[in-house]
Amino acid sequence: MLIESITDSAQIIVSGHRGYKAAYPENTLLSFQQAVAAGVHMLELDLRMSKDKQVVIIHDETVDRTTNGSGKVGEMTWEQLQALDAGGWMGPSFAGLKIPSFEQFCQLMLAYPHLLLNIEVKPSSDAEEVVDAAIAMLKQFSLYERCVFTCFDAAIIAYLHDRYAAKTQGFRGDKMTNFVEGEQGTYSKMWAIALEMSHLNRSDVKLFKHMGKQVWSYCPDTAQDVLYSVGAGATVMTCNNPMPALQLKKLLEQA
């Protein structure tokens, strides 16, 4: 499935936020595998770079919250990152899971040829370098055509758009850094815009669709939130718990 297959129709696309974040340690290979097993159509993941220039999958600037270690990702080598336990914090059954490299993730994705990818580059001083390395790897694995790229830094959205003609997913202007107003500004460089549930409303969805943008939501994790998201017109949903959205999609298909 190519990313062009997402349309503004009644089709529902369910994306696993950091994999299956509600039930498994986020951004681990296990979390991604379990999200795919649950039936998601897309995976969302976060990229940073280690001290020795390895692109790794982790959300935070530091390893403190999601591992048994402490310190900034960018100040640690790949070997140091691999020595950490990235699963035990969520429960003893997950102890021993590792922070994955982006290369390991790409290798895993070869087994799922129809899966879409939403790749978030975390804002940092080396974010452009992360973009360059990640896109080179995606092209090496023939995965690039499946991807939409995300960043809360509008300068990185512009870099992705201007240098690589990449499909980008941004956010409302007030949620981004370095946002540029105007016809040639940041919105013009976005293919999709994601609205968090607390800000999702029909009027914004209508406005952004009128601008020709896909409108996504994050994170509708209950049946009520999923129904609200679909009713508002944002049927591409990035979920910590994908099951309510997947269940609604199944019901609609059976109707």
Alpha-carbon gap, residue 241 to 229, rounded angstroms: 14
Q: Which residues contact 64 (CB under 8 A, 6 or more apart)?
A: 70, 71
17 is a catalytic site residue: yes
161 is a catalytic site residue: no
Angstrom CA distances, 71 to 60, 61, 107, stand at: 11, 9, 28
Alpha-carbon torsion (50, 52, 53, 54), positive or negative: negative
Helix, strand, coil percent content, the chain, rounded in steps of 5: 40, 20, 40
Distance of CA 26 to the CA centre of its chain: 12
Q: Which of 17, 41, 199, 210 is catalytic?
A: 17
Exposure string of 233-251, with b = 16+ CB inside 10 Å and e = fewer, is: bbbbbbbbbbbbbbebbee
Q: Which of 59, 161, 199, 210 is catalytic?
A: 59
The catalytic residue positions are: 17, 59
